[in-house]
Amino acid sequence: MKSSIVKRCVLIGGHKTTVSLEEPFWTDLKQIAHAQQMTPSKLVTEIDGRREHGNLSSAIRLFVLHHFRVNRTRARRKRNQL
């Protein structure tokens, strides 16, 4: 069975590192970076700088999850205000 984990190199502070994530997380990370007008590497650098524990891959997954949960909550509030 083929793994759904995809390894990609990103620059963090000018240093290359490999991050392993499932393809949907890579897709969402790129989408978030684009919406914030930054590169995925810049966004990963910010995520890395804010993480308190755990590995980088886990921090990215939690960031993506949090991003979409917050947006979902905002959309619900906006609908309820109409």
Output the pLDDT for position 75: 75
CB 47 within 8 A of CB 67: no
Query: What CATH number is associated with residue 45?
Result: 1.10.3990.20
| Residue 3: CB atoms within 10 Å | 8
Output the pLDDT for position 18: 95
Total count of domains within the chain: 1
Question: Long-range contacts of range 47-55, CB-CB < 8 Å, 24 or more positions apart?
Answer: 48/12
Output the pLDDT for position 72: 79
* C-alpha–C-alpha distance, residues 59 and 19, integer Å: 11
Range of the domain at 70: 5-81
The model's pLDDT over 25-79, given as tens digits with 9 standing for 90+, comes to 999 999 999 999 999 999 999 999 999 888 999 999 999 999 999 887 777 777 7
